[in-house]
Amino acid sequence: MAPLSAGGKAFCVVYAALGLPASLALMATLRHCLLPLLSCPGAWVAVRWQLAPARAALLQALGLGLLVAGTFVLLPALLLWGLQGNDSLLGAIYFCFGSLSTIGLGDLLPGRDRDLNPVLYHLGQIALLEAEP
């Protein structure tokens, strides 16, 4: 989907010009608010296991990366896999990663030509903001 009119294109430019700095400000605020909360377990592990600060930071980054990957890729993939039934888990993970990283190639469309309940199919389209072909 892309804007066709000059007004639509101008709106997208203005939206991006305002939305990107707003997103960065939101991320900075979330980091400021969540850093003390998320650094406590890392500090406890570093003291408990007597880790060097660099190794503790690496362990904390790994833990947060796994938490984010599990929350935003693995859980939706498991849900998609459970709803589709006849797709592979790897295909569901591939779809979720491709959709989240905005490199979706359009080679996978969940629920298309399957025995999926029409209500679930349309909810999936809304959730993915997928355009009808």
Return d(Cα 113, Cα 119) in angstroms, integer.
14
Q: Tell me whether residue 1 is in a domain.
A: no
Paired tokens of 127: 């959730």
pTM of the shown model: 0.55
**What is the extent of the structural domain holding 114?**
6-130
Closest alpha carbon to 96 in 124, 115, 118, 119:
124
Domain count, the chain: 1
Model pLDDT for residues 40-94, shown as the tens digit of each residue: 887 888 888 898 888 888 888 888 889 888 998 899 888 888 877 677 888 888 8
Tell me, what DSSP letter sits at residue 88? -
Paired tokens of 102: 């905005």
Q: Tell me whether residue 103 is in a domain.
A: yes
Closest alpha carbon to 78 in 66, 91, 68, 65:
91
First to last CA, the chain: 10
C-alpha dist (Å) from residue 69 to 94, 101, 108: 13, 12, 20
For the chain, percent of residues with pLDDT exceeding 90? 5
Closest alpha carbon to 45 in 31, 62, 28:
62
